[in-house]
Amino acid sequence: MISLKKKWHLPILALLCVLGILYALKPRLPYKALSFETHALGTRCRLTLYMQDPAGAGQVAEAVFAELKSVENKSNLYDPHSEVSLLNAQRNMRLSPELYAILDRSLYYARWSQGAFDPTVGALTLAYRVTTDPSAVSRIWQSQAAGIGWQNLWLDPYNQVGALRHPLTQVDVWGASKGYAADRALLMFKALKVPAALLDLGGQITVWGQDPAHGDWPVGIEDPRQPNALLGKIMLQSGQTLASSSLSQHWPLGEAWVTHPIFDPRLKTQVKPGYTLVSVCAESGLDADILSTTLFVLGKLETLSLPPSINVLTLDTEGKLWHSPTLVFAR
């Protein structure tokens, strides 16, 4: 019971309740979709930040793009001054934490796939600096075959040293660097308290936070059989990356691009495609990037055991579409 002496509390309590309700009903300032673009990792990089402060968003974009450039400077085989090129030249050297992490995960999937993914295919990458003629590339590949094999790459986890065991071995991490860069970007979004973001690295999509319009993020999957057509949409959740592989890959060469089919490192030949598209959704961009190529080379998923956190969508050469039961996909 409230005494008569404290009846003056009632108007104050009523006022506080009213103010609380008004504050709860007050419309929040919507996040602005602020877009930024640069060129890194051999592709066009588009970053959309959902923030209220354009100046702060610009600073975030600058920091993220600097990180992408840093990963490129370590992983670009076409740059003779990059760290991976220095490893190929010196044959034995202490590695940066970034390159060591990429190579360590690459070796993990090389073992898991029994060589369907292989970070020692640098000879093939470098061959396309000389020619894009398939027969000429095949001859170069065969001449370098002895150096191709993940067993020729050795890593020392205690001293963070990488060494190449065969004189012909050339390391290439281009098939994993975009995924690693996406993971680095996610760490920055979290550290900088970015409410929501979407990073597009040439079709590899990474999302953070909630899509202001949908909650989860709808990402269109292009139909490799029909230009400008979609197979459907995959719903991504915060922290996930979607990476895809198709019948051919595109590599930067100066201001131009070269295109070549995916090769099977185990057979030293072009992949005999079982799929026209493999898309992988994972909480690790590095895993998604590597696995999209690995699963494409392997050709069949029926005998594989993947963690529940990794979802896959495939389109085979007969037009049959399949996806993991837990993947949210709509046509």
Portion of the chain with pLDDT greater than 90, in percent? 65
Q: Could you tell me the pTM of the whole model? A: 0.87
For residue 126, the model assigns a pLDDT of 81
Domain extent, residue 134, equals: 83-164
For residue 58, the model assigns a pLDDT of 97
Q: What string of DSSP letters covers 208-241?
A: EE-BTTTBSEEEEEE-TTSTT-EEEEEEE-TT-E
Residue 100 lies in a domain: yes
Nearest to 178, CA basis, from 87, 89, 69: 69
Paired tokens of 190? 């979290």
Q: 61 phi and psi, to 5 degrees? A: -60, -40
Q: From start to end of the chain, where are the E strands?
A: 32-40, 43-51, 92-94, 153-156, 161-164, 196-201, 204-209, 217-222, 230-236, 241-246, 248-253, 256-261, 263-264, 269-270, 275-282, 311-316, 321-323, 329-330
Residue 92 lies in a domain: yes
Count of the separate structural domains present in the chain = 1
Cα(180)–Cα(54) distance, integer angstroms: 27
For residue 254, the model assigns a pLDDT of 55
Cα(248)–Cα(244) distance, integer angstroms: 11
pLDDT at 19 over 50: no
Indicate the pLDDT class of residue 27, thresholds 50, 70 and 90.
Answer: very low
For residue 3, the model assigns a pLDDT of 45
Q: Is the torsion defined by CA of 261, 263, 267, 268 positive or negative?
A: positive
Residue 35 lies in a domain: no
Residue 15 lies in a domain: no
Residue 141 lies in a domain: yes
CATH number of the domain where residue 133 is located? 1.10.3980.10
Residue 217 lies in a domain: no
Cα(203)–Cα(100) distance, integer angstroms: 25
Region of poorest pLDDT, from 18-32, 48-62, 111-125, 161-175: 18-32
Residue 321 lies in a domain: no
Cα(323)–Cα(167) distance, integer angstroms: 42
Residue 315 lies in a domain: no
Helix (H, G, I), strand (E, B) or coil at 322: strand
When comparing pLDDT for 300 and 216, which is higher?
216
Query: Mind listing the pLDDT tens digit for each residue in 207-237?
Result: 999 999 889 999 999 998 888 899 999 999 9
